Chains A and B, each alone.
Chain A
Amino acid sequence: MSDHLDCQQLLSSISDFVDGELNPELCRQIEQHLTECENCRIVINTLRKTIDLYQHQPGDEGLPQEIRHRLFHRLHLEEFLNRDPG
């Protein structure tokens, strides 16, 4: 196997690469390729940023009260609706 990766080979390993799941030799080849290839650098950086943006979305606002109400009724647990949900 050649020591030089092409862009297409890099792309097929890019997901494992950003997860840190590649063997050290392939990692080294990818890092080597990245020092020489501006396009792949951009692809990797924007891929990392994409995952990062999705992972840091705000959320966790808690379950809307009316949904909790309907859920407890559906499960016939309505007598416990007023206990502290914390």
Chain B
Amino acid sequence: MNNESIPETSLSLEALKKGDRHELARMVDLYSDKIYRLALKFTNNPQDAEDVLQETFLKAMRALPEFEGRSSLSTWLYRIAVNESLMLLRKQKPDVSLDPPAEEEDSDEGTSSNDLILADWCCLPEDELLSEESRRFLNQAIQQLPATLRGVFVLRDLEGLSIKETAELLGLTETNVKTRLLRARLFLRQQLSLYFAERLKEWEQK
């Protein structure tokens, strides 16, 4: 996992498993920032993200004595946080299935070349691409992704996990992850193309 910035070895697993509160506090400070941001990307709601953050550490502290170290501590905490986020999304929208029926997996819906937007907006200057307004649009676009696709995109492209790690965290096959990633990326490319095609027109008229 992409955790170079966090020196995991600086924590004593032995102390954590014994419930050493000073060490637990250090663990919380090492990982809370990453977990909060992950939950925020999943839920797009600061209150929900805070709930996920608290539940993740509550569960982790309860389960630590049984932690066997088969995965790294950070991967383990991530898995709890991902499950909490998905559970929360399920609760909020019980009608939205997180696991679409198998036949949907291979459908070409959204991945047909017929209705692609073909504006070439790559040439827009950085300050257009990176403006506050663009940022807001990027965030909105992620939230329009169905939860099944969002989880894959958040873990793979925003958190930089591998296909394999993403599959393990979400309990999917690697093929499923790749299919969903393709659909998520094409969906977002389409949304951004709609948006930046307009900026491109304005910019060319200047």
Residues of B7-62 contacting chain A, CB below 8 A: 21-22, 24-25, 28-29, 32-33, 36-37, 50, 53-54, 57-58, 61
Please report the C-alpha to C-alpha distance between residue A68 and residue B182 in the assembled complex, in whole angstroms. 36
Please report the C-alpha to C-alpha distance between residue A50 and residue B117 in the assembled complex, in whole angstroms. 13
Are A72 and B53 interface neighbours, CB within 8 A?
no
Please report the C-alpha to C-alpha distance between residue A85 and residue B26 in the assembled complex, in whole angstroms. 7
Total of A-B residue pairs, C-beta within 8 Å = 110
Are B25 and A72 interface neighbours, CB within 8 A?
yes
Interface size on A, as a range, is 35 or more
Are A62 and B33 interface neighbours, CB within 8 A?
yes
Please report the C-alpha to C-alpha distance between residue A47 and residue B116 in the assembled complex, in whole angstroms. 11
Shortest beta-carbon distance, A62 to chain B, in Å? 6
Please report the C-alpha to C-alpha distance between residue A67 and residue B178 in the assembled complex, in whole angstroms. 35
Are B36 and A67 interface neighbours, CB within 8 A?
yes
Residue A46 is within 8 A (CB to CB) of chain B in the complex: yes
Please report the C-alpha to C-alpha distance between residue A11 and residue B121 in the assembled complex, in whole angstroms. 19
Chain B positions within 8 Å of A74 at CB level: 54, 57-58
How does the 8 Å CB contact mask read for B107-135 relative to A, with 1 for contact and 0 for none? 00001110010111110000001100011
Residue B186 is within 8 A (CB to CB) of chain A in the complex: yes
Are A63 and B33 interface neighbours, CB within 8 A?
yes
Chain B positions within 8 Å of A68 at CB level: 29, 32
Are B182 and A15 interface neighbours, CB within 8 A?
yes
Chain B positions within 8 Å of A77 at CB level: 21, 24-25, 28
Are A60 and B53 interface neighbours, CB within 8 A?
no
Residue A3 is within 8 A (CB to CB) of chain B in the complex: no
Given A71-B57, A75-B61, A15 and B178 contact (CB-CB distance below 8 Å)? yes
Are B37 and A72 interface neighbours, CB within 8 A?
no
The one of B29, B57, B58, B120 in contact with A85, judged by C-beta atoms closer than 8 angstroms, is B29
Residue B158 is within 8 A (CB to CB) of chain A in the complex: yes
Chain B positions within 8 Å of A85 at CB level: 29
Residue A39 is within 8 A (CB to CB) of chain B in the complex: yes
Are B21 and A15 interface neighbours, CB within 8 A?
no
Are A80 and B22 interface neighbours, CB within 8 A?
yes
Are B33 and A45 interface neighbours, CB within 8 A?
no
Please report the C-alpha to C-alpha distance between residue A17 and residue B134 in the assembled complex, in whole angstroms. 26
* Stretch with Cβ within 8 A of A (4 or more), from B67-75, B85-93, B187-195: B187-195
Ranked nearest first, the 6 interchain pairs of A and B with the lowest CB-CB distance are: A80-B25, A15-B182, A85-B29, A7-B113, A50-B189, A63-B33
Interface of B toward A, CB cutoff 8 Å: 21-22, 24-25, 28-29, 32-33, 36-37, 50, 53-54, 57-58, 61, 111-113, 116, 118-122, 129-130, 134-135, 138, 142, 157-158, 160, 163, 178, 181-182, 185-186, 188-189, 192-193
Q: List 11 A-B contacts (CB under 8 A).
A: A15-B181, A50-B188, A51-B185, A53-B130, A54-B158, A55-B158, A63-B32, A67-B36, A67-B53, A75-B28, A83-B25
